[in-house]
Amino acid sequence: MEKYKSVVVVKYTRRGMARAIDRTMRKMTYRGFEFVQMTGNPLESVVMLFKIEGNEKPELTRKEMKALIKADKEKAKLLKEEAKAEAEENKRLMKEDKEKARLLKEEAKVKNEEAKRLMLENKEKDKAIKAQLAAEKKAKKDASNQEKAQKSDQDALEKELRAKQKFAEKEAEKAKNIAQITDGDKDK
């Protein structure tokens, strides 16, 4: 059979209320109760409801409860010391990380300056190469244009020669036709 027990907590400060709620939770759970719910305004007062199963209450004596609370305090103290040591270790590690970051930043700055210098050198080399390529391209283009002009002149001369040849052939054929006509008139 389940039994319920309610506890009313009234405190005037936020900190006092938090301590009272924690203390009540600890005491009731040591006594074997299970927390069910909490209602009310934590700034004024709260009602906490606990339940326990069965008819017997496994209540602890005051001495046993004090021993449990003392053990909890010792445990909390050890945890606090561990947290403090961990915080100091983290602080030391953060200092080391900051120093490493500073060194890496300086190294990156030096590398960046070196990269800029190399980039400027490469730009100058690229400009020289581009100028050389442009000159070579212009020379090739001029040679090509000159070759085209010579070929075009040669083609024009060949065309003119062919035209003269055709004209001469036509004239020879006309003369042959005229000769045939005149030979044919002589025969008559």
Are residues 85 and 79 in contact, defined by beta-carbon separation less than 8 angstroms? no
Q: Where are the domains of the chain?
A: 1-59, 61-160
pLDDT tens per residue across span 147-176? 999 999 999 999 999 999 999 999 999 888
- Strands 45-53 and 2-10: what pairing? antiparallel
Kindly indicate the confidence band of residue 59, based on its pLDDT and cuts at 50, 70 and 90: low
Distance from C-alpha of 103 to C-alpha of 121, rounded to nearest angstrom: 27
Residue 92 is predicted with a pLDDT of 94
Distances in Å between the Cα of 129 and the Cα atoms of 121, 125, 133, 175 are 12, 6, 6, 67
Give the fold, CATH level 3, of 1-59. Defensin A-like (3.30.30)
Residue 186 is predicted with a pLDDT of 66
pLDDT for 112 beyond 90 = yes
DSSP 61: P
Are residues 72 and 29 in contact, defined by beta-carbon separation less than 8 angstroms? no
Structure tokens given for 168: 């001469």
Residue from 3, 9, 58 nearest 36 by CA:
3
Distance from C-alpha of 116 to C-alpha of 77, rounded to nearest angstrom: 57
Structure tokens given for 109: 């700055």
Rounded (5°) CA angle 131-133-134? 60
Distance from C-alpha of 14 to C-alpha of 110, rounded to nearest angstrom: 56
Judge residue 27's burial from the number of C-beta atoms within 10 Å of its C-beta, 0-12 exposed, 13-18 middle, 19 or more buried.
middle
Q: Determine if the pTM surpasses 0.85.
A: no
Distance of CA 102 to the CA centre of its chain: 23
